[in-house]
Amino acid sequence: MSIPEERNQNKLVENSWKRSHHFGLKQTDAVDDQLLTGKLIDEIVKKNGMLIQHVTPIFAKMDHFIKQSGQVAMLIDPGGTIIYSVGDPDFSKRAAAVQLQVGANWSEKRKGTNAIGLAITEQVPVRVHASEHYSQKNHFLTCASSPVFGSAGQLLGVINFSGKMESYSDYSLALATMASEALTNQLLVEEARKEHLILLKELECSMKINPMPLLSLDQENIIVRANHAALRVIGKDAIGKPFAGAEGFSLESIHDHRRMVWRSAAFPGQGAGVHRGYTFADIAGSCPNLLQKKELAQKAALTDFPILLLGESGTGKELFAQSMHNASLRSHQPFIAVNCSAIPDSLVESELFGYERGAFTGANREGNAGKFEAANKGTIFLDEIGDMSLRAQAALLRVLQEHTITPVGSHKSKPIDIRIIAATHRNLQTEIREGRFRSDLYYRLKGIQLTLPSLRERSDIAQLAAYLLCKHHGLSAHLSDAAVHKLKQYAWPGNIRELNSVLVQAAFLADGGMIGPEHLQLDVDAPALLETGASDDSAHSLRDAEVAAIKKALVTTGWNMSKAAHLLGIGRTTLYRKIEEYSISMQAEG
Ligand SMILES: Nc1ncnc2c1ncn2[C@@H]1O[C@H](COP(=O)(O)OP(=O)(O)OP(=O)(O)O)[C@@H](O)[C@H]1O
């Protein structure tokens, strides 16, 4: 920060005098006696605690000069209030007579031309000597002030050196400038240190919930932390032991510029023989209903019974299915998810059971293994089972009864060893009553039935929201009480999937700050309650909610596909597909 030349200093003082006139101040005015005391000054001091903490050692280093020259050194907040002062006791007494003391405000508006007020207005180092002061009462003073800035260039305060006019020294202004620069630099270092710590905390937070195996190692390559997924690969008792490497793992170093903190994270490389998926640790929530289902699922995971997962869309059925697979004895075998509603009826058998070479024209000439064969020895997750056609249901029933599959175009059946987890948002009893679902298949699938609670039935929405925010934004995003209240009032037709995308968008809109209700863009047209089992209505409502969310994201981001996809928590390709599928166009938005 350069000190303005003498000529410019004079100009600054001249302009300040004009402003003082303009404020209606008189040179002969009495000292204004509005001194902040008690709670009021305590609050300002507390607010600027960090500044005071860092300026204290700086002033201590200059103590010799300050006392010898009969001066006082001060720290002033950006509003002009003196918040900290050290120096010559004799001069301090004299200074107090004109309120050059803690609690007094020395902005230009209050005191007319003076070094503190001028440094705040002009944001450059300035000196105001003797009769350059506007108020006659301050003519006995010589003062030098220099501004302190934050990392974004914002004014954080002012350093001021004052003494009797006889103590005038050319060094005062240089010293004030050096002190303010030292303080500015210290604050920058402190901010960088904090950011680094936050980064590490975020890293740890995301590590805990990450389905990818992640490790922290110290300098000696000893494992200091590992998430659940990693422990499954390297063994539960691996913490504290040296990391010997594992198939497909790669290492990345993270350390600060002084190598004070030193970590390495291990990420699985391409093709690692590790299943990437959810585990029970990823199922967040403290709602008793959910915890009961989680406990049951953990027990059931170790058996080979078929599982039927019921619940509205977005309640975590796939999350449960993957967690059960990963906790089962089949966890090192494949987990294959099949969306039964997405397979055209004519292709169900070939998709599920595969086809033989030359089975039909246009098909892969070498034949193709179906989903069941791909999942052999592992788990197959049959999602949206309630949407399967009766023809497909008959074929599935045969597999369940005979434990064999027969590829299309083949006469030979192949034995399969598979664990089945099926899921649907439909009420299968109703489907059976109305002849759309086979009751014999239902009883085969229903080994253990788990109905997952919808979000509006859950008592832990605030906790879940905090978890999801942490997952996406680390520790930086928080919800205000009013925002939590708004979340609790909403019906959540899209359940946790919808909550997720609302939070991603809210964190984006809050721009790193506290998330308030205004950032939560909920679908106002969402019905207050959806009946489980009212399948067609649910499907429509969900579709409407999805369309509304996509439109909102597109408008918010000015049709920037990458940003909109990020807001919605989906990939860009999925977004393009949905825009086409729902015929969403710019014109429709007006
Ligand atoms: N308890 C939970 N904790 C954390 N995340 C959850 C929880 N339940 C669901 N989710 C998240 O919500 C989203 C939807 O979950 P999932 O796909 O498992 O639901 P679903 O019931 O299978 O939905 P659909 O029937 O539409 O396929 C996922 O991103 C999932 O990770």
**DSSP-assigned states of every residue in 101-117:** STT-B--HHHHSS-HHH
pLDDT at 556 over 80: no
In this predicted structure, what is the pLDDT of residue 273? 35
The residue whose CA has the least distance to atom 26 of ligand 1 is 313
Question: How far, in Å, CA of 343 to CA of 166, rounded?
Answer: 93
In this predicted structure, what is the pLDDT of residue 208? 53
In this predicted structure, what is the pLDDT of residue 575? 81
Q: Is residue 148 part of a domain?
A: yes
Q: What tokens appear for 259 in the block?
A: 């190598």
Number of H helices, E strands in the chain: 22, 18
In this predicted structure, what is the pLDDT of residue 408? 83
Residues 187 and 59 in one domain: yes
In this predicted structure, what is the pLDDT of residue 109? 93
Which of 192, 222, 252 is a domain's end point? 192
542 Cα: distance to centroid of ligand 1 (angstroms) = 14
Residues 313 and 439 in one domain: yes
Using an 8 Å Cβ cutoff, are 201 and 183 in contact? no
Select from 457, 469, 497, 500 the residue to mutate for testing ligand 1; criterion: most ligand atoms less than 8 Å from CB: 497
Residues 162 and 52 in one domain: yes
Residues 134 and 37 in one domain: yes
pLDDT at 511 over 70: yes
pLDDT at 589 over 50: no
Which of 392, 417, 451 is a domain's end point? 451
Select from 319, 338, 568 the residue to mutate for testing ligand 1; criterion: most ligand atoms less than 8 Å from CB: 319
441 Cα: distance to centroid of ligand 1 (angstroms) = 25
Q: What tokens appear for 279 in the block?
A: 């585990």
pLDDT at 531 over 50: no
Select from 315, 325, 455 the residue to mutate for testing ligand 1; criterion: most ligand atoms less than 8 Å from CB: 315
The residue whose CA has the least distance to atom 25 of ligand 1 is 313
- Cβ burial, residue 354 (10 Å; 0-12/13-18/19+): buried
Question: How far, in Å, CA of 67 to CA of 74, rounded?
Answer: 13
Question: Closest ligand 1 atom, CA of 384?
Answer: 25
Q: Is residue 338 part of a domain?
A: yes
485 Cα: distance to centroid of ligand 1 (angstroms) = 22
3-state SS assignment for residue 207: helix
- Residue 59: count of CB within 10 angstroms of its CB: 22
11 Cα: distance to centroid of ligand 1 (angstroms) = 67
* Overall domain count for the chain: 4
pLDDT at 257 over 50: no
310 Cα: distance to centroid of ligand 1 (angstroms) = 12
CA angle 101, 103, 104 (to 5 degrees): 65
Residues 181 and 223 in one domain: no
Q: Is residue 178 part of a domain?
A: yes
- pLDDT, greater one: 3 or 77: 77
Q: What is the CATH number of the domain that holds 60?
A: 3.30.450.40
Residues 309 and 375 in one domain: yes
> Rg of the chain's alpha carbons, rounded to an integer?
35
In this predicted structure, what is the pLDDT of residue 416? 92
Instruction: Identify the weakest region by mean pLDDT among 49-53, 387-391, 564-568.
Output: 564-568
What pLDDT band is residue 562 in, cutting at 50, 70 and 90?
Answer: confident
The residue type at 462? A
The residue whose CA has the least distance to atom 28 of ligand 1 is 497
Q: Is residue 1 part of a domain?
A: no
Average pLDDT score over residue span 564-568: 80
pLDDT at 422 over 90: yes
3-state SS assignment for residue 543: helix
Question: Closest ligand 1 atom, CA of 309?
Answer: 21
* Percent of the chain scoring above 70 in pLDDT: 81
Select from 308, 318, 502 the residue to mutate for testing ligand 1; criterion: most ligand atoms less than 8 Å from CB: 318
The residue whose CA has the least distance to atom 23 of ligand 1 is 314
Helix axes 6-22, 115-122, angle to 10 degrees: 100
> Residue 63 phi/psi, 5° resolution?
-55, -45
The residue whose CA has the least distance to atom 31 of ligand 1 is 319
Residues 354 and 411 in one domain: yes
Residues in the ligand 1 pocket, defined by CB under 6 Å = 283-285, 311, 313-319, 383, 425, 496-497, 500
Beta bridge partners of residue 148, listed in sequence order: 157
Residues 427 and 394 in one domain: yes
Distances (CA, A) of 165 to 98, 144, 449: 14, 11, 88
Question: How far, in Å, CA of 166 to CA of 564, rounded?
Answer: 66
Residues 466 and 541 in one domain: yes
What pLDDT band is residue 555 in, cutting at 50, 70 and 90?
Answer: confident
In this predicted structure, what is the pLDDT of residue 249? 57
468 Cα: distance to centroid of ligand 1 (angstroms) = 11
Q: Which of 430-439 are b and which e, b meaning 16 or more Cβ less than 10 Å from the residue's Cβ?
A: ebbeeebbbe
What pLDDT band is residue 219 in, cutting at 50, 70 and 90?
Answer: low
The residue whose CA has the least distance to atom 29 of ligand 1 is 497
Question: Closest ligand 1 atom, CA of 425?
Answer: 25
In this predicted structure, what is the pLDDT of residue 529? 37
Question: How far, in Å, CA of 512 to CA of 191, rounded?
Answer: 16
Residues 114 and 54 in one domain: yes
494 Cα: distance to centroid of ligand 1 (angstroms) = 10
Closest residue by Cα to residue 390 from 418, 329, 431: 431
381 Cα: distance to centroid of ligand 1 (angstroms) = 14
Question: Closest ligand 1 atom, CA of 320?
Answer: 18
Average pLDDT score over residue span 11-36: 89
Question: Closest ligand 1 atom, CA of 285?
Answer: 1
In this predicted structure, what is the pLDDT of residue 37? 83
H/E element, 201: helix 171-209
pLDDT at 6 over 50: yes
The residue type at 557? T
pLDDT at 343 over 80: no
576 Cα: distance to centroid of ligand 1 (angstroms) = 22
Q: Is residue 202 part of a domain?
A: no
In this predicted structure, what is the pLDDT of residue 474? 63
Residue that has been written with the tokens 């253990």 in this structure? 448
pLDDT at 44 over 50: yes
pLDDT at 255 over 50: no
551 Cα: distance to centroid of ligand 1 (angstroms) = 22
313 Cα: distance to centroid of ligand 1 (angstroms) = 8
Instruction: Identify the weakest region by mean pLDDT among 170-179, 346-355, 432-441.
Output: 346-355
283 Cα: distance to centroid of ligand 1 (angstroms) = 9
The residue whose CA has the least distance to atom 10 of ligand 1 is 316
Residues 406 and 341 in one domain: yes
pLDDT tens digits, one per residue of 308-337 = 999 998 999 999 999 999 988 888 889 999
In this predicted structure, what is the pLDDT of residue 253? 52
Which of 417, 451, 485 is a domain's end point? 451
What pLDDT band is residue 196 in, cutting at 50, 70 and 90?
Answer: low
Residues 463 and 447 in one domain: no
In this predicted structure, what is the pLDDT of residue 535? 40
564 Cα: distance to centroid of ligand 1 (angstroms) = 21
Look at strands 379-383 and 419-424 and give their pairing: parallel
In angstroms, how far is CA 200 from the centroid of its own chain? 14
Domain extent for 250: 210-268
What pLDDT band is residue 433 in, cutting at 50, 70 and 90?
Answer: very high
ipTM: 0.96
Q: Is residue 477 part of a domain?
A: yes
Closest residue by Cα to residue 382 from 341, 437, 414, 436: 341
* Percent of the chain scoring above 90 in pLDDT: 39
Question: Closest ligand 1 atom, CA of 542?
Answer: 26
Instruction: Identify the weakest region by mean pLDDT among 155-164, 470-479, 523-532.
Output: 523-532
Beta bridge partners of residue 408, listed in sequence order: 355
> Residue 557 phi/psi, 5° resolution?
-95, 10
Question: Closest ligand 1 atom, CA of 383?
Answer: 27
Q: What is the CATH number of the domain that holds 382?
A: 3.40.50.300
495 Cα: distance to centroid of ligand 1 (angstroms) = 8
Using an 8 Å Cβ cutoff, are 147 and 77 in contact? no
Give 406-452 as a DSSP string. --BT-S--EE---EEEEEESS-HHHHHHTTSS-HHHHHHHTSEEEEP
In this predicted structure, what is the pLDDT of residue 246? 57
Average pLDDT score over residue span 76-101: 91
Instruction: Identify the weakest region by mean pLDDT among 122-136, 260-274, 398-412.
Output: 260-274
The residue whose CA has the least distance to atom 16 of ligand 1 is 316
Q: Is residue 399 part of a domain?
A: yes
pLDDT at 366 over 50: yes
3-state SS assignment for residue 546: helix
Alpha helices in 356-389 (DSSP H): 371-374
496 Cα: distance to centroid of ligand 1 (angstroms) = 6
Using an 8 Å Cβ cutoff, are 25 and 106 in contact? no
What pLDDT band is residue 269 in, cutting at 50, 70 and 90?
Answer: very low
In this predicted structure, what is the pLDDT of residue 18? 95
Alpha helices in 280-422 (DSSP H): 288-301, 317-326, 348-353, 371-374, 390-402
28 Cα: distance to centroid of ligand 1 (angstroms) = 74
The residue whose CA has the least distance to atom 13 of ligand 1 is 497
Residue that has been written with the tokens 């720290």 in this structure? 75
Closest residue by Cα to residue 582 from 530, 546, 533: 546
Question: Closest ligand 1 atom, CA of 278?
Answer: 31
Question: How far, in Å, CA of 269 to CA of 264, rounded?
Answer: 15
Q: Is residue 513 part of a domain?
A: yes
pLDDT tens digits, one per residue of 272-309 = 333 457 899 889 999 999 999 999 999 888 888 899 99
Using an 8 Å Cβ cutoff, are 320 and 452 in contact? yes
In this predicted structure, what is the pLDDT of residue 197? 57
- pLDDT, greater one: 248 or 194: 194
Question: How far, in Å, CA of 279 to CA of 261, rounded?
Answer: 30
Give 226-295 as a DSSP string. E-HHHHHHH-TT-TTSBP---TTEEEEEEE-TTSSSEEEEEEE-TT-S------GGG-----HHHHHHHH
Average pLDDT score over residue span 8-12: 89
pTM value > 0.90: no
